[in-house]
């Protein structure tokens, strides 16, 4: 069966590639696995039929031959385990690449998401400016550490792998914040990820959903 993923019917980012189905699309494109997409509205995401797939009423989900998955990281890991190309074959290298997948989602993404949510939901609060300074610094700490580790390498652990795929999507969430700009090796790292043909196909497919619904 062709896997089916879910994505926003109407993404609030207007096709900028920030919703998390992008990482799943990218992984599927990297390994050459065709997929179908079921678009869901915000209302549908909270209905029982979708919650059976995703207990938290979110996207993305993934269905294939009796398997239903939620959590973008778990889906990317599943795709990477089933197909060649996204994880090294040697056990040690595979474990290291998996550690970077967790680092992206568990160590780098949380402060970035917290900052991004504050800019959306807390902008009108009297303490917003003060809080933003704190949130910015938390993000900068992680960027500094990541930048130091990456150094002048192309990818985090040898060849491009699922850890880089997730890390690039996480860092992209800082687009427009200016926080990434001082870290030249990280901006180049993100650009390298975005230049991959599989990324470009994934981005174009997600953008097409938005432009089809919002012509002109
Ligand atoms: N931990 C889960 C995962 O990794 O899969 C998180 C899933 C998640 O946050 N899904 C979001 C969602 O369904 C979409 S990606 N939200 C609807 C809801 O919770 O009701 C997050 C996202 C949304 C919008 C933008 N944007 O507009 O810039 C960026 C990222």
What residues have CB less than 8 Å from 78, skipping those under 6 apart?
62, 67, 69
Q: Which residue has the tokens 């992209």?
A: 172
Dihedral pair phi/psi, residue 53, rounded to 5°? -85, -40
Q: Tens-of-pLDDT digits for all 216 residues of the chain?
A: 999 999 999 999 998 999 999 999 999 999 999 999 999 999 999 999 999 999 999 999 999 999 999 999 999 999 999 999 999 999 999 999 999 999 999 999 999 999 999 999 999 999 999 999 999 999 999 999 999 999 999 999 999 999 999 999 999 999 999 999 999 999 999 999 999 999 999 999 999 999 998 887
Are 36 and 4 spatial neighbours (Cβ–Cβ below 8 Å)?
Answer: yes
Whole-angstrom distance, CA of residue 62 vs CA of residue 68: 6
User: What residue ranges line ligand 1, CB within 6 angstroms?
Assistant: 12-13, 18-20, 45, 57-60, 71-73
Ligand 1 atom closest to Cα of 13?
A: 27
* pLDDT of 214: 87
Whole-angstrom distance, CA of residue 174 vs CA of residue 94: 28
CA of 62 to the centre of ligand 1 (A): 15
Which residue's CA is minimally distant from atom 20 of ligand 1?
A: 58
Q: At what angle do helices 162-172 and 109-121 cross, to 10 degrees?
A: 20
Are 143 and 179 spatial neighbours (Cβ–Cβ below 8 Å)?
Answer: yes
What tokens appear for 166 in the block?
A: 């997730």
pTM of this prediction exceeds 0.75: yes
């Amino acid at each position: 069966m062709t896997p089916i993923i879910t994505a926003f019917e109407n993404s609030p980012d207007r096709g900028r590639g920030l919703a998390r189905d992008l990482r799943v699309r990218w992984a599927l494109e990297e390994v050459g696995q065709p997929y179908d997409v079921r678009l869901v509205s915000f209302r549908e995401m909270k209905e029982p039929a979708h919650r059976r797939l995703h207990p938290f009423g979110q996207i993305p989900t993934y269905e294939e031959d009796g398997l239903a998955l939620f959590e973008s990281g778990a889906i990317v890991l599943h795709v990477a385990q089933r197909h060649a190309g996204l994880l090294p074959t040697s056990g040690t290298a595979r474990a290291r690449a998996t550690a970077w997948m967790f680092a992206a989602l568990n160590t780098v993404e949380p402060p970035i998401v917290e900052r991004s949510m504050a800019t959306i939901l807390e902008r009108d609060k009297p303490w917003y400016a003060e809080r933003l300074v704190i949130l910015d610094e938390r993000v900068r700490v992680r960027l500094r550490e990541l930048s130091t580790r990456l150094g002048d390498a192309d990818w985090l652990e040898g060849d491009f792998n699922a850890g880089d795929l997730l890390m690039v999507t996480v860092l992209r969430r800082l687009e427009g914040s200016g926080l990434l700009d001082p870290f030249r090796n990280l901006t180049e790292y993100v650009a390298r990820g975005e230049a991959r043909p599989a990324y470009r196909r994934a981005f174009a497919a997600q953008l097409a959903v938005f432009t089809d619904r919002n012509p002109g």
